[in-house]
Copies of this chain bind each other. A is one copy, B any other.
């Protein structure tokens, strides 16, 4: 490919390639060299689109958070209460299952504190708050509940992905039991 081709790559095409690479080979294989090879260009050319490897990974994290949010939001349409809670929970872990590399990228963001990363993650928090709202947890207790839910979902997904759950025990059943136990425990008191 010569300088300034007719159809140039755009950020989204590159992120998609990086995402597929991540899902297929793991986040550690998302290098400028590999991404460039998959796109048929040379590594330095990627600097025209991203601020180096760190920038690419940061964008991949935002890309992943956005997609994760969308799937969670979709799953919660038209349902409420326990159904909604289970819906967004399974949407969350299913996303991590289908896109292990991209999910991993959402955690590895070089600068987690970057404005864009934060706001992409905040939408997921807001959605969770809304779903938990129907349980009528008052004040701080609702916020603690969101922390708990996030902890469960991230911890569960992460451990499942890392092969942490070895027992021959259905994973979806585990998740449902865990979520229900947690929310029932939060409702009391």
Contact = CB atoms under 8 A, between A and B. Distances in A.
Contacts of A107: 158, 162
Interface string A151-189: 111111011001111110100011001101111111011
Contact of A182 (B118, B150, B158, B178): B178
Contact of A158 (B158, B169, B188, B189): B158
A152 to B, nearest CB: 5
A96 to B, nearest CB: 12
Contacts of A140: 169
Contacts of A143: 167, 169
A101 to B, nearest CB: 15
Nearest to A140: B169
A136 interface: no
Interface string A30-55: 00000000000000000000000000
Given A118-B166, A180-B185, 18 more contacts: A107-B162, A112-B164, A143-B167, A144-B174, A147-B178, A148-B174, A151-B151, A151-B152, A151-B155, A151-B156, A151-B159, A152-B152, A154-B159, A177-B186, A181-B188, A182-B185, A184-B185, A185-B186
Interface of A: 107, 112-113, 118, 121, 140-141, 143-145, 147-148, 150-156, 158-159, 162-167, 169, 173-174, 177-178, 180-186, 188-189
